[in-house]
């Protein structure tokens, strides 16, 4: 599923929750947004770098039209699959969220959760939406559903909290490891007296309610402060010519990247500070360093970081 890049107040998908004779028109909004610090790799002269495919046998860059998909079935052995073959296997396009069953909310293991999305009413009358949300919340039920986005089928859990429906994309069962698979052995039971002592230590720092401050990214804030200080001093800053408006973002290497590209287009462009990836194309002209012209030490990777102001 795509990662949210802006709070533009626009959904990136709309459809209908359907089961039995019930239909509820909804829109999908990302509930998460990108945080932390996003780096862009530059060369020593300040030119943004791009990732491209390179053939080591022929010693040349491979253009997009020559790329084919291969699945490794053994060491050095691949099965090649064409776009047409994949299209023939793609799920049927639909605007429906197919709600297959309801389960108790407490049966959902957070280990399966990937990303969160808000489902909001997509019609002038939200009566059906309110009925479904209240009924699910009252009975503490979650809906297990599937829907198709960009030719890929997703598994989601629909949860109601405070009268609002939320969709949690789920990992498939083969994507989740068990404790046994990571080597965790049977741990047995602890001594009761020692457990009581541990409970006492827990009680000392227990909070009646989760504080927002506990969830803040302190490291990212320190990095942003450093970047702002260097920007004000014009220290190690780089001016770069903007990339062409029609620059190709390239083929994504995972599902989230593919859908992120679609979400960016839906929202009308990338957000400030977002990292972009490109493929074969014209390399943008490099910028000139305005300060700190010292050469990089020998053996040090020729990379630099592009400083940007923290988005409001």
Give pLDDT tens digits along the chain (312 positions).
655 443 456 788 899 999 988 999 999 999 888 888 888 888 888 888 988 999 999 999 999 999 999 999 988 899 999 989 988 888 888 888 999 999 999 999 999 999 999 999 987 788 999 999 999 999 999 999 998 888 788 999 999 999 999 999 999 999 999 888 888 877 788 999 999 999 999 999 999 988 888 878 888 888 888 888 888 888 877 777 766 654 444 444 444 444 455 445 545 544 444 444 443 333 444 444 444 433 333 333 333 333 333 333
Query: Can you give 239-265 as a three-state secondary structure string?
Result: CCCCCCCCCCCCCCCCHHHHHHHHHHH
> 8-174+220-243+301-307, what's its fold?
Ku70; Chain: A; Domain 2 (2.40.290)
pLDDT tens-digit map of 212-232: 888 788 888 888 888 888 888
pLDDT given for residue 9 in this prediction: 61
Quote the distance between the C-alpha of residue 60 and its chain's center: 32
Q: Which pLDDT tens digit goes with each residue over 128-139?
A: 999 999 999 999
pLDDT in the model for residue 4 = 44
- The alpha carbon of 283 is separated from its chain's Cα centroid by a whole number of angstroms, namely 27
37: its two tokens:
């610090």
What local confidence, expressed as pLDDT, does residue 244 receive?
Answer: 62
pLDDT recorded at residue 151: 77
The pTM for the full model equals 0.63
Query: Which pLDDT belongs to residue 55?
Result: 94
Burial 269-304 (b: 16+ CB within 10 A, else e): ebbebbeeebbbbeebebbebeeeeeeeeeeeeeeb
Predicted confidence at residue 7, as pLDDT, reads 46
Please list, in sequence order, all residues whose beta carbon lies within 8 angstroms of the beta carbon of residue 59, skipping any fewer than 6 positions away.
none
Alpha-carbon distance 131 to 21, whole Å? 14
Q: Helices H, strands E: what count in the chain?
A: 5, 13
pLDDT score for 298: 38
Domains of the chain, residue spans: 8-174+220-243+301-307
């Amino acid at each position: 599923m795509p990662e949210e890049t802006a709070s533009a107040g626009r959904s990136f998908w709309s459809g209908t929750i359907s089961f039995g004779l019930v239909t509820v028109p909804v829109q999908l909004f990302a509930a998460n947004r990108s945080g932390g610090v996003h780096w862009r790799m530059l060369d020593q002269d300040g030119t943004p770098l791009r990732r491209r495919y390179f053939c080591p046998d022929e010693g040349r860059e491979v253009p997009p039209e020559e790329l084919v998909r291969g699945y490794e079935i053994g060491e050095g052995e691949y099965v090649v699959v064409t776009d047409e073959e994949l299209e023939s296997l793609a799920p049927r396009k639909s605007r429906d969220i197919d709600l297959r069953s309801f389960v108790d909310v407490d049966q959902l293991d957070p280990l399966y959760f990937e990303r969160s999305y808000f489902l909001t009413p997509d019609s002038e009358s939200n009566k059906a939406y309110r009925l479904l949300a209240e009924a699910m919340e009252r009975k503490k039920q979650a809906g297990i559903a599937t829907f198709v986005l960009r030719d890929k089928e997703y598994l989601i859990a629909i949860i109601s909290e405070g009268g609002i429906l939320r969709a949690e994309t789920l990992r498939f069962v083969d994507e989740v490891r068990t404790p046994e698979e990571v080597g965790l052995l049977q741990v047995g039971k602890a001594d009761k007296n020692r457990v009581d002592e541990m409970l006492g230590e827990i009680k000392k720092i227990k909070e009646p309610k989760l504080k927002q401050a506990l969830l803040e990214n302190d490291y990212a804030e320190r990095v942003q402060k450093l970047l702002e200080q260097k920007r004000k001093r014009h220290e190690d800053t780089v001016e770069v010519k903007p990339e062409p408006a029609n620059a190709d973002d390239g083929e994504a290497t995972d599902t989230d990247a593919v859908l992120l590209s679609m979400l960016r287009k839906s929202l009308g462009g990338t957000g400030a500070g977002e990292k972009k990836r490109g493929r074969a194309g014209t390399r943008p002209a490099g910028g000139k360093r305005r300060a700190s012209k010292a050469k990089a030490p020998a053996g040090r990777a020729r990379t630099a970081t592009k400083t940007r102001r923290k988005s409001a």
